[in-house]
Amino acid sequence: MRAVVLGLSVILLAGCSRVEQPVTNAARFVARMSCSCVFVTGRDLPACLADLPPEATWLRVQVDEAARRVRANALWLQGEARFEEGRGCQLEN
């Protein structure tokens, strides 16, 4: 039984490498777009999320008003953008 679980874990993790970059890219895109929407245009997060493509709805988005930062993530993969006066929203990480 342990060998079966170990084998399935190896197969699953090997397949994750093909998924990791697209998910990270999606999280970075959503973080950057949401940051601009919230901090540049002054809209609230639900309205900003409604403008995103439907494929992005499974990402969790958090806004930190004090730090002027937006983080989008799925599982352990994330994207983060921070607003700077005069520069707009910049991706971090």
- Asked if residue 81 is part of any domain, the answer here is yes
Residue 5 lies in a domain: no
Q: If you ran DSSP here, which 8-state letter would residue 40 be given?
A: I
Domain range for 61: 20-92
Is 4 part of a structural domain of the chain?
no
The answer to whether residue 87 is domain-embedded is: yes
Round to whole Å and give the CA distance between 80 and 31.
5
CA dihedral 57, 68, 78, 52 (to 10 degrees): 20
Q: Which tens digit of pLDDT belongs to each residue from 53-79?
A: 998 889 999 999 999 999 999 989 999
pLDDT in tens, 4-46: 443 444 445 555 667 789 999 999 999 999 999 999 999 999 9
Q: Domain count for the chain, please give it.
A: 1
Return the HEC string of 10-33. HHHHHHHHHHHHHHHHHHHHHHHH
pTM of the full structure? 0.79
Backbone angles phi, psi at 5, to 5 degrees: -65, -45
